[in-house]
Amino acid sequence: MSDAYIALADGRVLEGRGRAPGRTRGELVFTTAYTGYEESLTDPSYEEQVLTFSYPLIGNYGVRTERMESERVHPTAAIARELTDEVVEWLADEGVPAIDHVDTRELVTSVREEGAMRCGIAVGDDVTPEDAREELEACEGMSDHVDIGKQVSVDRARVVRAESGSESDTQVALVDCGVKGSIVDSLVERGADVHVLPYDASIEDVASLDPDVLFVSNGPGDPANFEAARALVEYFVGDVPVAGICLGQQIVARALGGDTEKMTFGHRGVNQPVRDLESGQVVMTTQNHGYSVAEPGPKLTVTQVNVNDDTAEGLENEELDVLTRQYHPEANPGPEDTLGFFDDVLAMTDAGARRTVVADD
């Protein structure tokens, strides 16, 4: 074991047991999920964040690659009350510092009261509190990561087909702002070919596909920093059905005249209750975001809200064929109450005549 220090923006330096070495920094956030640590740690939405688990024991059912949502661990560090050796070995292999024997109940309470905060991490045999403070001094706020999309998006376009060797009748242009693998899988399982495009894809890139749906994915950071994706929505909305999840909902809202804001500590977990305003039904959802739609704008209607704080969880415009969700309907990890969202998205491809999409000269 080694020394471990966590320097917080509020001036405190916490000590823990070092499990995987390294020095790093990021925004300190927490998840309330009891299970799904593999999915959480490989969720690109945690890029540039230090993930604290509120559940006391992390790793009690091992590590399996088939549960992972991307090819690597995205949080810059992991903190828990206790981490199993198998999870520690995985994090060490990934080069991600890990700390346990921390009073995570107190740490989570601090984040709830003071908000997600910058922090510095130092783990190793010869590290000092000053090392952690140095990392803290170099730590940027999430909105300052102006090109965070580049860190989590594909470098070049790729296609995932519903059936090998044949083209589907439904073509989805998915803007990869940090997409989880299970979102792509959910569309493919329903018979769509998914063209995964870089976060900064051009209008010409999308137009060349003549897609049936433009889909903006989840991802990390401030939606105000994803101007290319916003421009795509502005250009294609009304000609192509538009859908979005999490960060995607925020980008769509901004493109249609709405506004977003940073939340105090965000929603991260698998038990967030969401109420549908038309039916009154409440469903449990998986969420991971630190920004939300503050104002939907004149073209979008709020259809679902969070029971705890009334933040917008669903936006729609039936005339323009726009449908978004703030939560993660693919349910990896979490409840499967909202899987029907993907059916609703693909149903928009049959809603009315759609013009062939071409880019302006």
For 83-111, what is the HEC assignment? ECHHHHHHHHHCCCCEEECCCHHHHHHHH
3-class secondary-structure state, position 49: strand
pTM across the whole model = 0.96
The residues of the chain that CATH labels 3.40.50.880 are 149-350
Question: Which residues are tagged catalytic?
Answer: 246, 328, 330
pLDDT at 360: 61
Helix then strand then coil, in percent of the chain rounded to 5, is 25, 35, 40
Rounded Cα distance between 275 and 281, Å, is 6
Nearest by Cα to 83 from 104, 62, 58: 58
pLDDT at 355: 46
pLDDT at 95: 98
pLDDT at 205: 98
Instruction: For residue 191, give the DSSP letter.
Output: T
Q: From the annotation, which residues make up the binding site for L-glutamine?
A: 45, 219, 221, 247, 250, 288, 290-291
Nearest by Cα to 26 from 151, 135, 106, 150: 135
The residues of the chain that CATH labels 3.50.30.20 are 2-140
Q: Is the separation of the CB atoms in 122 and 4 below 8 Å?
A: yes
CATH superfamily of 149-350: Class I glutamine amidotransferase (GATase) domain (3.40.50.880)
- The CATH number corresponding to 2-140 among 3.30.420.110, 3.50.30.20, 2.60.40.1180, 3.20.20.70 equals 3.50.30.20
pLDDT at 2: 80
| R_g (Cα) of the chain, nearest Å | 20
Nearest by Cα to 320 from 211, 204, 221, 233: 233
pLDDT at 166: 87
pLDDT at 358: 54
Query: pLDDT (tens digit, 0 to 9) for every residue of the chain, 361 residues total?
Result: 789 999 999 999 999 999 999 999 999 999 999 999 999 999 999 999 999 999 999 999 999 999 999 999 999 999 999 999 999 999 999 999 999 999 999 999 999 999 999 999 999 999 999 999 999 999 999 999 999 999 999 999 999 999 877 899 999 999 999 999 999 999 999 999 999 999 999 999 999 999 999 999 999 999 999 999 999 999 999 999 999 999 999 999 999 999 999 999 999 999 999 999 999 999 999 999 999 999 999 999 999 999 999 999 999 999 999 999 999 999 888 899 999 999 999 999 975 445 445 566 5
pLDDT at 165: 77
pLDDT at 11: 97
DSSP 242-277: EEEETHHHHHHHHHTT-EEEEEEEEEEEEEEEEEET
